[in-house]
Amino acid sequence: MTLQIGSNEDCFSVLRFAGPSFADMRTISLRKCLIAGCFVLVLVIFRMSLLDSLNSWRAIAMSMDISKGDSVSREMFEQMYQLYDIRDVDCAGLFSQKNGSLDNALSKSKSAEWKGFRFHEDFYLKKTKHCGNFQRERGYIMTSLTKLEDEFPLAYSLVVFKDIEMVERLLRAVYRPQNVYCIHVDVKAKTEFFEAMTSIASCFPNVYMSPTRISVVWGKFSVLEPELVCMEELMKRSSRWKYFINLTGQEFPLKTNRELVEILTSFKGANDVEGVRREANKVRFINKPSDLDVVPTKGAVHVVVNREFVDYVLHDPVSKKLQDWLRTVDVPDETLFSTLNHNPQLGIRGSFIGLDDVERMMPRKPWVNRYKSWLGAPCAGRRIRTVCILSTGDLPRMHASPNFFANKFYLHEDRVAIGCLEQRLFNNTRDLHLGRTRVNTAFYEESIFVRNRLIK
């Protein structure tokens, strides 16, 4: 972790940097604060040596926590909540658009204190030397929480190349011991990044590094290769998982594991893959081999598909032939999954029946796995090319959305957005577990891709 003691930061924020245990220093007067400022350096140095004993204290405090045993009590959740409590930011107010909460949060996230803070690779390399402590301190949930979740494991691929802290926070958010994870780090990524990632993965028996590394070039077949390698790995590592979800390192879940499990159960095998045929760029498809009996379909790169679907992708001759052709086509990653999912004559479980009919009725077939704001949709911050970089002002929309994950975030530009999404996710996990709320799957059960799925 970096400690930035710049001249333009206010006294309090410097003090707060000295650590969470000094969080309430803001209640002292400015004069006292300035005096205390003289001791900041001493404090910081003291804290560094204190850090380890502090951590072991925390480790003891939390060894009775969520990471042990099956029954997780309200007290354990209360203790763990401390990890997600953000000083001076009213996350609940942000989600419900409470007057003043956005202005307050924005001034916070623009402050040097927030912007300068970051966990770097060396932090993770050091912390993961002691896996038990790492899991506890970072608040990993080391139990499946419910039988329901235990019996419905998920498989994730994470295709990442930078920003270790964001990736680790994403992993923490989706981590459960019954799931499996495959992480692909681009060949072009920095060595430190790869090493830190490997070290984090080594702390969890169900997090695997991709067995081969690829240099991914946008718009080329190499975009698909990490996914295929990870799918193979995930199939090999566990025969239990029910659905596959692929993530990049710049997204964050809007639904808890429990919610995903209940929603995906209500899918009854349906796959959620975007499909666009009428408006697809058909120039890409003119060279399709005549013996390849599929209608090419375009779709977003984010998919949620069942296990049989993944098996088909990896092992069926039609899929192989499709992949061979796609090696010669632009942006093949937008075509492979979407084509397989919208050609029901292939007989793939959960694929979509009647895309052409649907496109005659509505502009686009709906899909739910991603919240992503393209041009034309609201965006509180800036866009890169046409995609919105989601920030604090977008939180109410993400909160109201039925989507599974939101894409995309730059943690170094807005730490409040991710911090509040984490708090919300934690609260939802807690409240579902303690029976304070329930998952309502009606919206999903009635969705067009569940009703029009191929049943096998």
Ligand X SMILES: *[C@@H]1O[C@H](CO)[C@@H](O)[C@H](O)[C@H]1NC(C)=O
Provide, rounded to whole angstroms, the least separation between the CB of residue 35 and ligand X: 33
User: Which alpha helices (H) appear in 207-316, and where do they start and end?
Assistant: 225-237, 257-267, 307-315
Nearer to ligand X, 127 or 258 (CB): 258
Count of residues touching ligand X (by CB under 6 A)? 21
User: Which of the ranges 23-31, 222-230, 256-264, 316-324 carries the binding residues for ligand X, by CB under 6 A?
Assistant: 222-230
How many angstroms separate the Cα of 438 from the Cα of each of 151, 191, 364, 401, 430?
Answer: 19, 44, 30, 17, 11
Write the DSSP symbol of residue 70: S
Nearer to ligand X, 349 or 424 (CB): 424
- Using CB under 6 A, which of 12, 17, 95, 410 touches ligand X? 95
Catalytic residue selected from 334, 422, 445, 446: 334
Residues 153-212 contacting ligand X, CB under 6 A: 159
Provide, rounded to whole angstroms, the least separation between the CB of residue 428 and ligand X: 8
Residues 100-119 contacting ligand X, CB under 6 A: 100
User: Which of the ranges 21-29, 221-229, 285-293, 377-385 carries the binding residues for ligand X, by CB under 6 A?
Assistant: 221-229
Write the DSSP symbol of residue 115: H
Q: What is the CA 97 to chain-centroid distance, rounded?
A: 24
Residue 138 makes CB contacts below 8 A (sequence gap 6+) with 83, 127, 168, 172
- Are 394 and 94 contacting, i.e. CB atoms less than 8 angstroms apart? no
What six digits make up the tokens of 70? 């099956």
Q: Which of 9, 11, 18 is nearest to 110 (CA)?
A: 9
Residues 23-82 contacting ligand X, CB under 6 A: 81
Residue 266 makes CB contacts below 8 A (sequence gap 6+) with 441, 444, 445, 450
DSSP 349-367: TTPBS-HHHHHHHSSS---
Nearer to ligand X, 83 or 125 (CB): 83
Assess 302 for contact with ligand X (CB under 6 A): yes
Pairwise CA distance, residues 37 & 408, whole Å:
38
β-strand pairing of 387-388 with 383-384: antiparallel
Residues 75-94 contacting ligand X, CB under 6 A: 81, 91-92
- Are 174 and 100 contacting, i.e. CB atoms less than 8 angstroms apart? no
Provide, rounded to whole angstroms, the least separation between the CB of residue 350 and ligand X: 15
Residues 318-377 contacting ligand X, CB under 6 A: 333, 336-337
Give the dihedral of Cα atoms 265, 267, 269, 272; nearest 10 deg. -130
Q: Strand, helix or coil at 180?
A: strand
Nearer to ligand X, 32 or 87 (CB): 87
Assess 392 for contact with ligand X (CB under 6 A): no
Assess 303 for contact with ligand X (CB under 6 A): yes
- Using CB under 6 A, which of 155, 224, 234, 418 touches ligand X? 224
Nearer to ligand X, 43 or 398 (CB): 398
Query: Rounded to 5 degrees, what are φ and ψ at 121?
Result: -55, -40
Provide, rounded to whole angstroms, the least separation between the CB of residue 447 and ligand X: 20
Write the DSSP symbol of residue 82: G
Which residue's structure tokens are 């927030």? Answer: 114
- Using CB under 6 A, which of 339, 427, 429, 447 touches ligand X? 427
Provide, rounded to whole angstroms, the least separation between the CB of residue 7 and ligand X: 31
Residue 49 makes CB contacts below 8 A (sequence gap 6+) with none
Pairwise CA distance, residues 81 & 87, whole Å:
12
The mark string for 135-164 relative to ligand X (x by CB under 6 A, - otherwise) is ------------------------x-----
Nearer to ligand X, 43 or 89 (CB): 89
Assess 246 for contact with ligand X (CB under 6 A): yes
The mark string for 255-294 relative to ligand X (x by CB under 6 A, - otherwise) is ----------------------------------------
What six digits make up the tokens of 126? 């050091």
Write the DSSP symbol of residue 346: G
Assess 423 for contact with ligand X (CB under 6 A): yes
Nearer to ligand X, 175 or 337 (CB): 337
Work out the angle between the directed axes of helices 191-201 and 164-174 (0-180°, nearest 10): 20
334 is catalytic: yes
The total of other beta-carbon atoms located within 10 Å of residue 434's CB is 12
Nearer to ligand X, 229 or 379 (CB): 229
Nearer to ligand X, 18 or 224 (CB): 224
Residues with catalytic roles: 334
Q: Which residues make up the interface to ligand X (CB under 6 A)?
A: 81, 91-92, 95, 99-100, 159, 223-224, 227, 246, 248, 301-303, 333, 336-337, 423-424, 427
